[in-house]
Structure 1
Amino acid sequence: MKPRKSHVLLLWMLICSGMTEAIEPISTSIAVGMAAALTGFLASYQNIFYYFRECCRPEWISFNRTGLKADLERKLIGQHIASRIILRAVNGFMSNSNPKKPLVLSLHGWTGTGKNFVSQLIADSIYKEGMDSNFVHVFTSELHFPHASQLETYKSQLQQWIKGNVTNCAHSMFIFDEMDQMHPGLIDGIKPYLDYYDKLDGVSYRKAIFIFLSNAGGDSIVQKALDFWRGGRDREEIQLRDLETELSLSVFNNKKSGLWHTSLIDKNLVDFFVPFLPLEYRHVVQCAMAEMIAAERQPDQNLAEQLAKDLVYFPKADRVFSVKGCKTIGSKLDYYT
Structure 2
Amino acid sequence: MEPVHKALPIARQQISMVTSPLRAAHRIRHKYLIMKRRRISTEHSEPTGAEGPGSRGTGRYPSPKGQEPLERTSKYRTKTAEYFTFEKVPVKTMKKRRSSKRRKVLYPSDTKRYLPEEKKSKAKNCLFLLSLIVFFQIYNAIENLDDNVLKYDLAGLEKTLKREVFGQLVAIDSLMDLLNDYLATHIHNKPLVLSLNGPVGVGKSLVGRLLAKHFRSVLSDHLVYQYFVLHHCPRQDNVTSCLQELAGNITDTVSRAEAEEKIPLLIFDEVEFMQPALLDFLQSYFQPDQPNEFLNAVYVLISSYGQGEITKFVLQNASSGMMRQTAKSEELLFIVQSLLTHSHPVWKHADIVPFTLLERTHIENCFLEQMMREGFYPDNGQLDELSRELNYYSVGKHQYSVHGCKYVGSKVNLLH
* TM-score between both structures, scaled by the size of structure 2: 0.58
Q: 1:165-176 alignment to 2 at 5 Å? A: 165-170=253-258, 171-176=263-268
Aligned length: 263
For residue 187 of structure 1, what is the aligned residue in structure 2?
279
**Residues of 2 paired with 1:301 and 1:78: CA distance?**
19
* Residues 1:133 and 2:221 aligned together: yes
For residue 251 of structure 1, what is the aligned residue in structure 2?
340
2:174 to 77, 82, 85: 85
Assess if the C-alpha contact under 8 Å between 1:228 and 1:234 holds in 2. yes
For residue 367 of structure 2, what is the aligned residue in structure 1?
288
**Residues of 2 paired with 1:317 and 1:185: CA distance?**
45
Q: Classify the secondary structure of the residue corresponding to 1:320.
A: strand
For residue 145 of structure 1, what is the aligned residue in structure 2?
233
Assess if the C-alpha contact under 8 Å between 1:62 and 1:127 holds in 2. no
For residue 327 of structure 2, what is the aligned residue in structure 1?
239
Assess if the C-alpha contact under 8 Å between 1:313 and 1:319 holds in 2. no
The answer for unaligned runs of 5 or more in structure 1 is: 1-57, 254-259
For residue 302 of structure 1, what is the aligned residue in structure 2?
381
**Residues of 2 paired with 1:283 and 1:198: CA distance?**
43
| TM-superposed deviation, 1:65 | 1.8
| TM-superposed deviation, 1:293 | 3.5
Q: 1:23-102 alignment to 2 at 5 Å? A: 62-102=151-191
Q: Deviations over 1:230-256 (max 9, x none)?
A: 3x3153122321311110122233xxx
Assess if the C-alpha contact under 8 Å between 1:217 and 1:251 holds in 2. yes
| TM-superposed deviation, 1:296 | 4.9
For residue 28 of structure 1, what is the aligned residue in structure 2?
none
**Residues of 1 paired with 2:366 and 2:274: CA distance?**
29
Q: CA RMSD in A?
A: 2.7
Q: Deviations over 1:10-61 (max 9, x none)?
A: xxxxxxxxxxxxxxxxxxxxxxxxxxxxxxxxxxxxxxxxxxxxxxxx9xx9
Q: Deviations over 1:284-320 (max 9, x none)?
A: 0111122233445435322222111101223699983
For residue 96 of structure 2, what is the aligned residue in structure 1?
none
| TM-superposed deviation, 1:89 | 1.1
**Residues of 2 paired with 1:189 and 1:160: CA distance?**
12
Bigger Rg over Cα:
2
Q: Deviations over 1:74-93 (max 9, x none)?
A: 22211122111111111222
**Residues of 1 paired with 2:396 and 2:228: CA distance?**
35
Q: Classify the secondary structure of the residue corresponding to 2:299.
A: strand
For residue 177 of structure 1, what is the aligned residue in structure 2?
269
For residue 409 of structure 2, what is the aligned residue in structure 1?
330
Assess if the C-alpha contact under 8 Å between 1:139 and 1:176 holds in 2. yes
**Residues of 2 paired with 1:297 and 1:63: CA distance?**
35
Assess if the C-alpha contact under 8 Å between 2:327 and 2:356 holds in 1. no
Identity of aligned residues (%): 25
Q: Classify the secondary structure of the residue corresponding to 1:284.
A: helix
Q: Which amino acid aligns with 1:193?
A: Y
**Residues of 1 paired with 2:325 and 2:375: CA distance?**
34
**Residues of 1 paired with 2:295 and 2:316: CA distance?**
39
Q: Greater relative contact order: 1 or 2 (C-alpha under 8 angstroms, separation 6 or more)?
A: 1
| TM-superposed deviation, 1:195 | 2.1
Q: Classify the secondary structure of the residue corresponding to 2:267.
A: strand
**Residues of 1 paired with 2:334 and 2:323: CA distance?**
18
Assess if the C-alpha contact under 8 Å between 2:215 and 2:224 holds in 1. no
Assess if the C-alpha contact under 8 Å between 2:153 and 2:218 holds in 1. no
